[in-house]
Every structure is written in structure tokens, then in C-alpha cells.
Amino acid sequence: MSGPTQSSTPTSNPVITRPNWSVLILAFVAVVLDGYDTIALGLSVPALAKDWDVPASHFTPALSLTSLGVALGYIAVGRLTARFGCRRVVLVAVGVFTVGSLLTAWSGGILELSALRLLTGFGLGAVMPAAVAQATALNPTRYRQSIAVFVTMGISLGALIAGLLGTRLIGSFGWPSVFVFGAIASAVLLPFLWLWLPDERAIAGTATSSAKHHASVARLFDPEVRVRTILLWVFSFLVFSVFYIFSSWLPTLLTSYGFTTKLAPLGSAALGVGSIIGAGVLMVGAMRFRMTSVLAGTTAVAIVFLVISAFLGADKALLLLVFGGVGLGLQAGMIGQAAVSVSLYPQATAATGVGWASSMGRIGSVVGPIVGGALIGLGFATSAIVLIACVPVGIALVVILALGRTRSQSAPSEVPEAVPAPELSTHPH
């Protein structure tokens, strides 16, 4: 339960030396449900279009407003966590998308669906940065990047579960069951969060006034990090925009290859499997290389698989395998940008840094479904859409290489990740 939140700061913060497994697991599960609900609408679109007898492209507003809501949640999360603490933000955000998911199952039109997805999206957006910030605050400093990758990987697992389970649920009970299942799962999680998710401010000894100062977006533009912030935001925007073209429209695109509406959600599952492998690559790669170097490699992998998919025939198994490779490359970028954010900024600024970088990505994820829907509406072939998607991914590769070069040049002034110093107490304000 929530601990006290005094405005006074203790003289010293406890040095955390062992992993806090309860926080890690709860934060991870919250993000898993976030990932599940985020793509629930995309994998339901083929069945929804058939059920409501409208073209699939008519669901573009609902898909885009989901991403807009998430972006607003990302932008607001820094201030919210500074005022209320990560624990309360995670609890309320999970509650919001629980109710939103349940109501979505009973929506009866595109306008109502779009409004509900905007509300749900806000809850989804607030969860991930707050969960990452709390998990990194209550675990050893030297594990910050690995913890950020692990918690954010929940998005990939959630997408995988949605893709695999969505096929069965839609086939057996119709599209509303996808949202009902997500609502039930998150409702079950809420009491566990209430009982065992601690107040990080009471443990870390963070003053409310200090937290508000560090949560300011202006801290992301301090001279030593300004250029890197801009490059990270551009990378996030590009990678998110392309990934959400496919997470939103891949089930629909696969129908042009002969997939039925019941089998089309397997495309989301393929993206999810590739995404989890990509997260594993990040965790292993981060032990030996800079995160930006690992992201450059995974972004290049995404380009290769995109090009391959554009020239494949209607071999269903091979298509799913290749789109798994696309998911590996793109989702690695989406997960990795959070880890880069955690390493760029002080711990007290982590929620703001992760939230704003991810919000730039979510702006891309608003643009992505719109572009995808427009291309589908204009009658572009799936192969043409895939090749068009290679352009922003190629630009993202150049940007992450530039970010790696900038970080390399400024490395002497950076605090090594292995130093277990409690940044919350040592960073001046």
C-alpha cells in the first residue's frame, strides 16, 4: 500500500544492491497488459469490418486515436509521477484501460469506438514510462538499461499473447471477446498492484519539490543532452510509425495473401514473436555493445526483412516468418529507445525522458495507421506498401548511427552504468 510522501528529503538515500523482484514482476505484467490492449483493435479490424459491414479503412480514426491517447499519456506521465508517484500513476492507469477495454467490447459504432479508444489509450500511455521509472528506481543502478529493456519487453509479450489468443477468441466468441479478456486480466492485476507495489518516493527519499523540478521537460534540453534528445525523438518517431502501420494493418494486409479473418491475427502473433526475440537480442547485446550500436543492427535487420517480404509469394508460413523478422527489428527499436532514455538522463528524470521519447514515437504511431489506411484505401498492393515503409526505416538507421556517434564523443562526461551510485540523492537541483 502507498507509503508516506513527505516533502522533506532525507540526508542520504539507501543504496539498493539486490533486485526487487516483486516490483520487476508487477511492472512487467502491467506492461504486458498494456501491449495486449494496444494492438487489440488492430487484430480485431478484419472481424469488425465484416461484422459492421464497412471497409477496413474506416477504422483509421479509431486506430489513430488509440495512439493519440497513448501519446498524451506519455506526455503527461512525467508531471503525474512527480506529483503522485509512480505507484499511484500505474494503479490509476491500469484502472483506466481496464474500464476502457470493457466498454470497447460493447461499442456499437465507429464514433463511439474511437472515443473509447482515445480514453483507453491515455491509460495505456501512462503505464509503461511509470512502470519503467519505478522499476529502475527500486533496483540497482548498474542494471538500469537491462531493467528498462526487460520491463518494456512486456509490450512485445502482450502483442504475442494478443495475436495468439485473438485468433481463438475471435473465431469462437467474436471480436468483443478480445477486449473482455483484456479487461478481466487487468482487473485481476489491480489488487496485486495495490498490495505489493510500493511507493518509490518513500523508499528512495525523493522530495516532492525536487521531483517536480527533475520532471520538467526542460531538463531534456540541458546543453549536454539536447542534441541526443532530438536524435532520440526522431528515431522513435520513425520506428514507431512503421511498426504501427503493420501492427494496425498487418491482419488486413495478409487477407490479400489468402489469409482468412480468423487466421489473419497470426500476423500480429508473428510480429510479437519477433519482438520478443528482438528484446532478447537487446538484453544480450547491451552486455557487450552500446545500446545505440545494437539498435543500428536491429534496424538494419528490419530493412532486410521488409525488402524480402515485398517479393514473397503467398506462402503463408514463410510470410509469417519474415514478418516475425520485421517485428524483431522494429520492436527492438521501440524497446531500445526506452533503454537509451534511461541511460541519457538522471533517475529522477527517467519517467519524463522515457515518456517524451515514447510520445514522439506515438505521434509516429498516429501517423503510421493513417498512412497505412490511406495506402490501402488507394488500392496499393501489399508489396508496394512494404517497400514504401523501407524509406523511414532507412532514415531511422542513419539517425541512430548519428546518436551513437554523439554519445561516443561525449562518453568521458557520462556516468558509467556500472557505478551503483544513488542518482536521486546526488543530482543537484
Backbone angles phi, psi at 420, to 5 degrees: -85, 50
Q: What integer is the mean pLDDT of 273-289?
A: 82
3-state secondary structure the chain: CCCCCCCCCCCCCCCCCCCCHHHHHHHHHHHHHHHHHHHHHHHHHHHHHHHHCCCHHHHHHHHHHHHHHHHHHHHHHHHHHHHHCHHHHHHHHHHHHHHHHHHHCCCCCHHHHHHHHHHHHHHHHHHHHHHHHHHHHCCCHHHHHHHHHHHHCHHHHHHHHHHHHHHHHHHHHCCHHHHHHHHHHHHHHHHHHHHHCCCHHHHHCCCHHHHHHHCCHHHHHCCCCHHHHHHHHHHHHHHHHHHHHHHHHHHHHHHHHCCCCCCCCHHHHHHHHHHHHHHHHHHHHCCCCCHHHHHHHHHHHHHHHHHHHHCCCCCHHHHHHHHHHHHHHHHHHHHHHHHHHHHHCCHHHHHHHHHHHHHHHHHHHHHHHHHHHHHHHCCCCHHHHHHHHHHHHHHHHHHHHHHHHHHHHCHHHCCCCCCCCCHHHHCCC
Residues 165 and 191: their CA atoms lie apart, in Å, by: 24
- Whether the per-residue pLDDT at 415 is higher than 80: the answer is no
**pLDDT at residue 214, as a whole number:** 62
Q: Is 304's pLDDT higher than 90?
A: yes
CB 152 within 8 A of CB 335: yes
Cα(24)–Cα(176) distance, rounded to whole angstroms?
31
Determine contact, residues 425/12, Cβ cutoff 8 Å. yes
Place of cell 474511437: 114
Question: Which pLDDT band holds residue 15 (cuts at 50, 70, 90)?
Answer: low
Structure confidence at residue 425 (pLDDT): 33
**Average pLDDT taken over every residue of the chain:** 82
Q: Is the pLDDT of residue 52 over 90?
A: yes
Q: Among 295-304, 387-396, 403-412, name the one with the lowest average pLDDT.
A: 403-412
What are the tens digits of pLDDT across the range 202-221? 765 554 555 565 667 888 88
Domains and CATH numbers, the chain: 21-410 (1.20.1250.20)
Residue scoring higher pLDDT (178 or 108): 178
Q: How far apart are CA 103 and CA 112, in angstroms?
A: 10
Cα-based angle 361, 25, 235 (whole degrees, multiple of 5):
15
CB-CB contact of 75 with 236 (8 Å): no
Residue 318: predicted pLDDT: 82
Side chain identity at 5, as an amino acid letter? T
Q: Which of 251, 190, 257, 239 has its CA nearest to residue 396?
A: 239
The larger pLDDT score, comparing residue 404 to residue 190, is at: 190
pLDDT digits (tens, 9 = 90+) for 356-368: 898 888 788 778 8
The arithmetic mean of pLDDT across residues 254-272, rounded, is 74
